[in-house]
């Protein structure tokens, strides 16, 4: 990175707001994407989770809004309620810290539609939410799509899947032809790009390899356990660490529900987050974890994708991630803002054989540990070399 936010066209007021948020330099995706968005062109932005894609479109979006007009000027679509709420909080934070008078509201399904219609009477500049409900309100003439100048597809690859594509397309087609379309995601397949080609016009494609590094403050350890004993090790680990916020990753929805049930049986405050759960339950789980009512949140990689979960003190993988990059995403959710973090793998003998490869690929050391008398101790077995 060679520039500052001012050098890539962001107004002083927003730059000051970023400073109030502790952000002084743009990431690579921000440095390359912001000027393209400010130019008014359609943009497709791709970079890894945690590299600042949200601000890469929010900053120029704020700048393009005519705050003198009480009209809906931008729509940000998200594939899940949790991500929509996260984006909404980011919009509110940026407006608050910068003093920028951009107004916003969140519009999602499974929520009282009459209350949402009331909020829309204030004509917020930015609408964030799910494509199905937003399209419904456009069709009911409660959202004037003709005043929308910019549409953002956050996690675009998921929004372009068959279950979302029809409603997303309906929203896009309801706007003026000269509207701007922004697509952002960690990855966008060639198939998704082809689908997006129906709506975009000569898009600028920004694809960067600005991968978030695993902070040095994170300690990496693994515990060896038979598959049937993994949950018991997790239970003992949570009791030993006495932490208030532990994020646990499991690969399948069924296993998440079973683990939640077993831990709850032991009196542990636990919540689950997976794609198969109804939207209300997912939202309730996130709020319980954020508010500290749940000590442990158990999630799949897909369900947690794109979500910013602050204050995570420890990440536990009850199952190995499908690839080393997923481990990086998991571990990177702790040890933020200079705080110490802990990433734990609980593995059986077969999985333990993959530890060496994980260390070599990511250039980290994962120490072998054990539980003894309620405390974490060094294991007799030597940690794998890399």
pLDDT(224) > 70: yes
Q: What is the largest CA-CA distance in the chain?
A: 68
pLDDT(42) > 80: yes
pLDDT tier for residue 277 given thresholds of 50, 70 and 90: low
Segment 162-185 mean pLDDT:
94
The highest-confidence range among 118-122, 358-362, 368-372, by mean pLDDT, is 118-122
* 285 neighbors 272 (Cβ within 8 angstroms): yes
Top-confidence residue, 9 or 239: 9
Tens-place pLDDT, residues 72-107: 999 999 998 888 988 999 999 999 999 999 999 999
Tens-place pLDDT, residues 111-154: 899 999 999 999 999 999 999 999 999 999 999 999 999 999 99
The highest-confidence range among 138-142, 155-159, 356-360, 380-384, by mean pLDDT, is 138-142
HEC per residue, the chain: CCCCCCCCCCCHHHHHHHHHCCCCCCCHHHHHHHHHHHCCCCEEEECCCCCCHHHHHHHHHHHHCCCCCCCCCEEEECCCHHHHHHHHHHHHHHHHHHCCCCCEEEECCCCCHHHHHHHHCCCCCEEEECHHHHHHHHHCCCCCHHHCCEEEEECHHHHCCHHHHHHHHHHHHCCCCCCEEEEEECCCCHHHHHHHCCCCCCCEEEECCCCCCCCCCEEEEEEECCHHHHHHHHHHHHHHHCCCCEEEECCCHHHHHHHHHHHHHCCCCEEEECCCCCHHHHHHHHHHHHHCCCCEEEECHHHHCCCCCCCCCEEEECCCCCCHHHHHHHHCCCCCCCCCEEEEEEECHHHHCCHHHHHHHHCCCCEEEEEECCEEEECCCCCCCC
Query: Looking up tokens 């932490």, which residue turns up?
Result: 243
What dihedral angle (degrees, nearest 10) is formed by the CA atoms of 34, 79, 302, 22?
Answer: 40
pLDDT value, residue 287: 85
pLDDT value, residue 111: 85
pLDDT(68) > 50: yes
pLDDT value, residue 386: 34
Rg, C-alpha atoms of the chain: 22
pLDDT(270) > 90: yes
Report the half-sphere exposure of 198 (CA within 13 A, side-chain side). Answer: 13
Q: What percent of the chain has pLDDT over 90?
A: 59
Segment 362-368 mean pLDDT:
90
The Cα–Cα gap between 51 and 54 comes to 9
Segment 275-302 mean pLDDT:
79
pLDDT(341) > 80: yes
pLDDT(384) > 50: no
pLDDT tier for residue 189 given thresholds of 50, 70 and 90: confident
pLDDT value, residue 210: 55
Kind of pairing between the strands at 74-77 and 246-249: unpaired
β-bridge mates for residue 370, sequence order: 377
β-bridge mates for residue 204, sequence order: 43
Tens-place pLDDT, residues 297-312: 998 887 777 677 778 8
How deeply is 309 buried, as exposed, middle or buried, from its count of CB atoms within 10 A (0-12, 13-18, 19+)?
buried
pLDDT(211) > 60: no
The pair of three-digit structure tokens given for residue 304, joined into one six-digit string: 């947690």
Segment 166-183 mean pLDDT:
95
pLDDT value, residue 167: 96
* 299 neighbors 289 (Cβ within 8 angstroms): no
Question: Rounded mean pLDDT of the chain?
Answer: 88
Top-confidence residue, 277 or 331: 331
Tens-place pLDDT, residues 7-38: 999 999 999 999 998 888 998 999 999 999 99
How deeply is 147 buried, as exposed, middle or buried, from its count of CB atoms within 10 A (0-12, 13-18, 19+)?
middle
Cβ atoms within 10 Å, residue 83: 22
pLDDT value, residue 342: 93
Segment 55-63 mean pLDDT:
97
- Nearest-5° Cα angle at 137, 134 to 141: 135
pLDDT(382) > 50: no
């Amino acid at each position: 990175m060679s520039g500052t936010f001012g050098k890539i066209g962001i107004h002083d007021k927003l730059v000051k707001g970023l400073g109030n948020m502790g952000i002084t330099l743009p990431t690579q995706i921000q440095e390359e994407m912001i000027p393209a968005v400010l130019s008014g062109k359609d943009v497709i932005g791709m970079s890894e989770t945690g590299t600042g894609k949200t601000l890469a479109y929010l900053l120029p979006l704020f700048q393009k809004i005519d705050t003198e007009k009480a009209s809906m000027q931008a729509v940000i679509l998200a594939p899940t309620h949790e991500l929509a709420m996260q984006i909404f909080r980011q919009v509110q934070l940026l407006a608050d810290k910068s003093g920028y008078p951009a107004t916003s509201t969140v519009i999602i399904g499974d929520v009282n539609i009459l209350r949402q219609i009331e909020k829309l009477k204030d004509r917020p500049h930015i609408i964030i939410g799910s494509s199905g409900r937003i399209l419904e309100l456009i069709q009911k003439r409660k959202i004037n799509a003709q005043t929308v100048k910019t549409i953002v597809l956050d996690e675009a690859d998921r929004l372009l899947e068959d279950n979302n594509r029809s409603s997303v397309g309906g929203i896009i087609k309801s706007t003026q032809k000269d509207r701007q379309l922004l697509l952002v995601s960690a990855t966008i397949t060639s198939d998704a790009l082809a689908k997006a080609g129906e709506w975009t016009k000569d898009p600028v494609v920004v694809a960067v390899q600005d991968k978030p590094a695993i902070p040095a403050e994170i300690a990496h350890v693994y515990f060896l356990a038979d598959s049937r004993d993994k949950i018991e090790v997790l239970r003992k680990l949570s009791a030993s660490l006495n932490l208030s916020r532990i994020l646990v990753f499991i690969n399948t929805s069924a296993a998440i529900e079973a683990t939640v049930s077993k831990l709850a049986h032991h009196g542990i405050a636990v919540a689950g987050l997976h794609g198969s759960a109804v939207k209300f339950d997912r939202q309730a789980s996130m709020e319980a974890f954020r508010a500290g009512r749940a000590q442990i949140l158990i999630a799949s990689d897909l369900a947690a994708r794109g979500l910013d979960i602050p204050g995570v003190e420890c990440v536990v993988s009850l199952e190995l991630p499908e690839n080393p990059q997923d481990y990086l995403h998991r571990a990177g959710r702790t040890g933020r803002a200079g705080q110490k973090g802990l990433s734990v793998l609980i593995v059986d003998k077969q999985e333990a054989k993959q530890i060496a490869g994980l260390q070599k690929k990511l250039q980290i050391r994962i120490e072998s540990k054990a539980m003894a008398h309620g405390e974490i101790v060094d294991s007799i077995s030597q940690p794998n070399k890399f």
